[in-house]
Amino acid sequence: MSTPSADTMKREAAQAALAAVTPHMKLGLGTGSTAAQFVDLLGARVQAGLKVICVPTSERTRAQAAALGIPLTTLDDLPELDLVIDGADEFDASRRLIKGGGGALLREKIVAAASKRMFVITDATKEVKSLGAFPLPIEVDRFGAQSTQLNIERTARGLGLIGPIIQRRNKNQTPYITDGGHYIYDCSFGAIDTPELLAERLAAIPGVVEHGLFINLAAAIFVAGAQGIRILGNAI
């Protein structure tokens, strides 16, 4: 059996998660290439008559959803959601995630925390034994960013994590700025043996707005692969 293309697997995972969406749900819409597949599929359902209301996790997702006619609101007007469906850059067997490759980790985590359940859609290539093969994104306030970076390095070193910490930049080499107006530093630590401890210590650093470790948030992960869809966790 040939392995499906990455785009095919993303769409299959998105289609599987879409089955959990019921009329009048309050949904969070994720950011990234896999989440974009879900938004496309949801848009087709909305155009066919499905009634939902959605909160996007980025300006990019907002523009895509609006173009498809998906009704949108904000967490200020709708502070509690039924379900958020989002992608991941990496996941392990304990449903711990690294997110933020698309630059929306802060809003993604806020929306996930506001949702009763988080479903993750991804493909088998993103599964790892230990988180850290994908560089960990950390969103940092622009004020004192170099000082914050040094504190991140010290904190990581205290946990035996040593590797380059690189400020994310655009193609023209200008600093990448998130929707919230912050910088992102991508940390190539390698295997993170104690992600819970790292998450706790990063959150305590002044200047760190948010980090890309998503722990105890994903209720279920829909994993697309050559054998079809596998679900980690509880999708009911």
Hey, which residues are catalytic here? 108
The number of angstroms, rounded, from the C-alpha of 168 to the middle of its chain's C-alpha atoms is: 17
State the pairing for strand pair 115-123/52-56: unpaired
CA distance 152 to 146: 10
Comparing CA positions, the residue from 102, 100, 112 lying closest to residue 211 is: 100
